[in-house]
Amino acid sequence: MGKLLEGEVCVITGASRGIGQAIAVRFKEEGALVYGLSRSKPEANIEWIPCDVADEVSIESAVNSIFQKENRIDIVVNNAGITRDGLIMRMKTEDWDAVLNANLRSAFIMSRAVSRMMLRQRSGCILNISSVVGLHGNGGQANYAASKAGIIGLTKSLAKELASRNIRVNALAPGYIETAMTSVLPDAAKQSLTTSIPLARPGTPAEVAEAALFLCSPRASYITGVVLNVDGGMGM
Ligand code: NDP
């Protein structure tokens, strides 16, 4: 059987570690040419373009440099994300802005930049990484939950807007996945999260990457505008 993403040009934000890195590695195994965009250099053997997704110019210049080299962009995964948790009364406006800029505004700017090319190509696929927290909310994460809920609105709107040009737009909603982002949680919080998961364990970045591969591959050619939970049943 042939590889699922043979020759596809893919851009993945936040591919320097965690979920983004796992997606980059998996896509490469399936024959894709993968460009990772992040501030620090990825450990994985992929093309790297230094990029701060909170900066509009940085995203647009990265996209332009890929397009000049490859003359097309087939798949974009808006994965980069941060947390700045805190209770609402103590949440600084800067913490709100930082999270919304890195998690949501970045996906808007990236999608706008690549949609110009995808519209010309009359094909493309955008995958946005949301979260179960974007579907259900979470105390202490008003900024993060708002950014991840916004990702879902962005995903469904772009899916409707771009479908007639054969551009699919979907989202993943991971639950509790073991990465640097969650490793900083206190042990008690990790334990309580695990108790809330029907499959009774955290997920791995590789498990999220499998779902990403499916949604970005021709196997999902008739799927657009969906939010797929990858959460061990946590969000049921
Ligand atoms: P990590 O903290 O392990 O990795 C985050 C990635 O985002 C890094 O590669 C980082 O690269 C990149 N990034 C952050 N800020 C920027 C920026 N300003 N510019 C460019 N790149 C940036 O997180 P995860 O792998 O856990 O998370 C990946 C995505 O999955 C995020 O959107 C997160 O919200 C989401 N998610 C994670 C869950 C989990 O349980 N882990 C659950 C649900 C959703 P660098 O620092 O090098 O710039």
Structural domain boundaries in the chain: 9-228
pLDDT above 70 covers a percentage of the chain that reads: 100
The H-or-E segment that residue 128 falls in is strand 124-129
Question: Could you read off the pLDDT of 4-21 as tens digits, one per residue?
Answer: 999 999 999 999 999 999
Question: Could you read off the pLDDT of 31-68 as tens digits, one per residue?
Answer: 999 999 999 999 999 999 999 999 999 999 999 999 99
Quick check: CB of 122 below 6 Å from ligand 1?
A: no
**pLDDT at residue 1 greater than cutoff 80:** no
Q: What pLDDT does residue 232 have?
A: 98
Residue 1 alpha carbon to ligand 1 centre in Å:
33
Task: For tokens 């808007």, name the residue.
Answer: 108
CATH topology of domain 9-228: Rossmann fold (3.40.50)
Residue 81 alpha carbon to ligand 1 centre in Å:
4
Quick check: CB of 147 below 6 Å from ligand 1?
A: no
Residue 31 alpha carbon to ligand 1 centre in Å:
24
pLDDT above 90 covers a percentage of the chain that reads: 100
Q: Which atom of ligand 1 is nearest to the CA of 203?
A: 40
Q: What pLDDT does residue 231 have?
A: 98
Helices (H) and strands (E) in the chain, counts: 9, 7
Question: Could you read off the pLDDT of 97-148 as tens digits, one per residue?
Answer: 999 999 999 999 999 999 999 999 999 999 999 999 999 999 999 999 999 9
Task: For tokens 């949604």, name the residue.
Answer: 215
Question: Could you read off the pLDDT of 171-206 as tens digits, one per residue?
Answer: 999 999 999 999 999 999 999 999 999 999 999 999
Q: State mean pLDDT over 84-109.
A: 98
Tell me the residue type at 222.
Answer: Y
